[in-house]
Chain A
Amino acid sequence: MTNSDAYSGDAPVSTLKSRAGSAANKEAAQDRDWSIASIVGRTITVNRPRQDVYKVWRDFSAFPSFMENIEQVTQLDDKRLHWVVAAPGGTTVEWDVVITEDTPGEVIVWESVKGSGINNTGRVEFKDAPAGRGTEVTATIVYEPPGGDIGRLIAKLFRREPKIQVRQDMRRFKQLMEAGEVSTARRYRISPQAN
């Protein structure tokens, strides 16, 4: 997923723009039998060994600690997960996800099951960073931006543009893995002016 027929250079597909970007989105939609697709992604370096980083990600239950909108991920069986995602007004939306590829220490791929309301897939790859710098983690999310009323609802689900959301979620993952905690400027445990 880091390459596309739409572009012959070496850039990750999430960084394509203009005609190359549109072509990559179209190709991603065709591959999945969707009407349209959007691709967002982010690579971070985590100053930890590859297997450690993979293990925390593969657990999925840590997702809510670094992914802003995800309230809970529960493992249904080896391959299936149930996601609970925060929605406006204190409500939630839920969908099931199937893990379609899992190579320990290298790659995890998942996709939402049909009828989830919002079609989405995720792929996260783990590579050794150069010269003992740890692990390069690349997350790529492909989703079908829904139209109509559902689209508006879904748009509200994500407090930010998906591209920014994935960057911030990955940044929190890095904080958690390296610093051992997610950075916050909060001053109070129960916050009169939460940050």
Chain B
Amino acid sequence: MTIFIPGQQGDSVQELTVEELRNKIGTGMEIESEDNMLLSMGPQHPSTHGVLRLLVELDGERVVNLAPDIGFLHTGIEKNMEAKTYTKALVMTDRMDYLSPMSNNLGYILAIEKLLGIEAPPRAQAIRTILVELARIGSHLVWLGTHALDLAAMTVFLYCFREREYILDIFEMVSGQRMMVSYFRPGGVWRDVPAEFEPQMRKFLKFMPSRIADYEGLLKKNPIFMKRTKEVGYISGEDAISWGLTGPSLRGSGVDWDIRKVYPYLLYDQLDFDVPVYNEGDVYARYLCRMDEMRESLRIIQQVMDNMPDGPVNSDDRKVVPPPRAELGRSMEAVIHHFKLWTEGFKAPEGFVKVSIESPRGEFMTYLRGDGGPKPARVHFRTPSYVNLAALPTMSKDLYVADLVSIIGSIDIVLGEIDR
């Protein structure tokens, strides 16, 4: 096989055997025929959604073999978190799934709370539920926009980002940050939501259903979109389970599995919502699934907004939650707590916890081990994108290059979450 080595003058075309080539590639992918074209898609490619590299063996336009190659965005988040106190490590979780930092925050915070054995007050739970569902809508909007853009429907992309902008504005209003929110804290949330929060949310709930209908008007019945997504990227329910798929990618294959229903957290057991499930197992089914999920999220937000409890937004456990500013001038005890929390942080007991939540992409599990000190001994995240990506070769067997981008879009990966 002849391979072109760039960046060298003179004899830049080298003869390589398949064996040598395989060593050069280093993904261990089987290569079927020497006549096929080996294409390295990414890490700089417009539609691999970040720095994913796909090594593709192509027979003409047909994908014969495919191996995802990851690790280009490795930032050592899990290891770094061991060097920070429980509270300070929180900011690292924002940077994993940067499209729904609220969900990452929640997964990590719930794990800390479980380790410490404390619980956030009802108002904090309600705020968390609203914001996590809002993050789900925001994340699905980015998915829809980029998925449509991969299929060249660029208007949908800009419409989606218009609405996502509104969501980011709400995030900025409550947390001071548009994306890296770090809003949830052990024992509650950073601060109560401001007074403008409720009218803004009501406005959002009012206009959003018609906007979702707009996107569907552009895509759902569009014959080209249906041709490009139906019967593409098929994965059966059994295969999906054995690959460990979660989230809408699993529910698009007819498996009714949602952590919010199966192991409820926050207020989900008191809320009335449906889990959309479609049986086709193709890109179109996953599309329908996510579109319905946005509507369900709106329903959830509506219910929580209507029954918003009053009261404090932070636990009164002073060993974990810093005292309010006003107390510092009056109470010596508050000053001591404040000092201890800011210099050393709180200490968590020895032992480990595992907490799963349903992030927009699927099951987001946090493994947290404490050793009695103020810093976690080990943090590990089971991130849905990482697991979902593994099923890509199965889904894209014998399809076209063009289908590849459609499938990558449909499993909705975020590389920050995969490489961590």
User: Do the two chains bind?
Assistant: no
